[in-house]
Amino acid sequence: MDRILIRGGNRLSGRIAISGAKNAALTLMPCALLTDEPLTLRNLPRLADVDSFGHLLNQLGVSTMVEGAHPTDFGRVMTMRAARLTSTVAPYDIVRKMRASILVLGPLLGRMGEATVSLPGGCAIGNRPIDLHLKALDSMGAEIEIAAGYVKATAPGGRLKGGRVSFPVVSVGATENAVMAAVTAQGTTVIENAAREPEIVDLCNLLTAMGAVIDGVGTETLTIEGRDRLHGATYQVMPDRIEAGSYACAAAITHGALELFGARANDMRATLAALSEAGITVEERPRSVYIEASNGIAPLTLSTAPYPGFATDMQAQFMAMLTRANGASVLTETIFENRYMHVPELARMGADIQVRGHAAVVRGVDRLVGAPVMATDLRASMSLILAGLAADGETQVNRVYHLDRGYERLEEKLQGVGADIERVGDG
């Protein structure tokens, strides 16, 4: 297994190109199932999860072709074509490795009138149920059966019916599955308390480009008029707001200055507001966001919340940054029940963090000390990298396959702005 070694203490400065958004790519790719025409996605990030999703689509009979990057993008171009699907089963061995596979459920139902998808199971940050996904599809007439670890869904008569979906809890994935099921249902679907993440706006924009009729994009109420069929499209994946926020924290924790090229400030208002409150300079430029930290980090009180609130996917990275603040911060994680796996690892590096229920009190320390640490989940891994960048001495981050799921060319991007970082294999 690869490890990443960091010798901390360098002040980062320069430009980092922000890649296409992982969490947008993973909901845009299954849209290929909704048409028999080609769907081309530009600015796709080079990530393990994107590759896994491509393999899943291949299993279903979708052809995928990857080309080089478009001259104006950083990511790859992938053309997918579901001319004729050969399977409607998403098998356990794929789903267990990538829970976002559940996002084929809605489009498969919409296209084929049936779908059999392995239950994704939990992960390090929580048990990750899918009851809201199933409730949404049930509201559109799907018949759902759960047996032997699989969800089997069928649309009576081969086509879902427009219905009213009202979510008791905001769920990104359940909203995405509901939208992808509704765009070819018979009649109109109203989705209430829909998630409003920018990745969902990206999904609605792509589906609209494919001929879908969606009203209320970006709001908590979506009204979707089902179409008999959708056509192909070419679409550019939005920039990754979480990658951009993560590198903003890298600038902050190293008292550096980074230009996040391609970042879209409008998608990351809560993150940028928190950085400004911590005394970090944030400058919005036409094609980038500039972050400079020259006079220390002020402590913060932050709670994660659904968009447009402070993103749960930014909590671990902010915690790393706040271990170096001038005072005590309080972070409260309200979305996932176990998203503090990075705390004991940060503590090994000298951080002073007390977790009490959903709250973590982070007392700033004068210095962090490099140590061997263990990555447990994607964003926790990034928080360990950030701490390593600021720590005295060498930090060794193990199990970096977690990182490769969500950060494209991480060490290359950080080397490019002055970090002393390298990846070593076990050989």
Q: Which of these ranges, 127-135, 146-154, 286-294, 340-348, lies near ligand EPZ under the rule CB under 6 A?
A: 127-135
What is 42-110 written as a DSSP string? EEE---HHHHHHHHHHHHHT-EEEEEEE-TT-SSEEEEEE-SS----EE-HHHHTT-GGGGGGHHHHHH
Q: Which is nearer to ligand EPZ, 313 or 411 (CB)?
A: 313
Strands (E), 262-341: 281-285, 288-292, 301-303, 328-332
Q: Which of these ranges, 125-133, 246-254, 343-351, 354-362, lies near ligand EPZ under the rule CB under 6 A?
A: 125-133
Binding flag, residue 131, ligand EPZ (CB under 6 A): yes
What distances in angstroms separate CA 347 from CA 172, 278, 344, 358, 396, one per listed residue? 31, 22, 5, 18, 14
Binding flag, residue 15, ligand EPZ (CB under 6 A): no
Q: Figure out which of the listed residues 65, 83, 146, 169 binds ligand EPZ, where binding follows CB under 6 A.
A: 169
Q: Which residue type occupies 149?
A: G
Binding flag, residue 132, ligand EPZ (CB under 6 A): yes
Binding flag, residue 145, ligand EPZ (CB under 6 A): no
Q: Which is nearer to ligand EPZ, 4 or 132 (CB)?
A: 132
Q: Which of residues 96-115 bind ligand EPZ (CB under 6 A)?
A: 100
Active-site annotation holder among 31, 123, 204, 249: 123
| SS3 (DSSP) at 317 | helix
Q: Which of residues 314-373 bind ligand EPZ (CB under 6 A)?
A: 335-336
Binding flag, residue 56, ligand EPZ (CB under 6 A): no
Binding flag, residue 406, ligand EPZ (CB under 6 A): yes
Q: Quick one: which of 172, 59, 40 has its CA closest to 108? A: 59
Check if 123 is active-site.
yes
Q: Look up tokens 């996605």; give the residue.
A: 41
Q: Which is nearer to ligand EPZ, 257 or 400 (CB)?
A: 400
Binding flag, residue 126, ligand EPZ (CB under 6 A): yes
From its phi and psi, is residue 145 left (phi > 0), alpha (psi between -120 and 50) or beta? beta
Beta carbon of residue 137, minimum distance to ligand EPZ (angstroms, whole number):
11
What distances in angstroms separate CA 258 from CA 252, 298, 310, 331, 418, one per listed residue? 9, 19, 21, 25, 11
Q: Figure out which of the listed residues 171, 246, 288, 323 binds ligand EPZ, where binding follows CB under 6 A.
A: 171
Residues recognised as catalytic: 123
Chain residues in the site for ligand EPZ (CB under 6 A): 23, 26, 100, 126, 128-133, 169, 171-174, 195, 312-313, 335-336, 378-379, 406
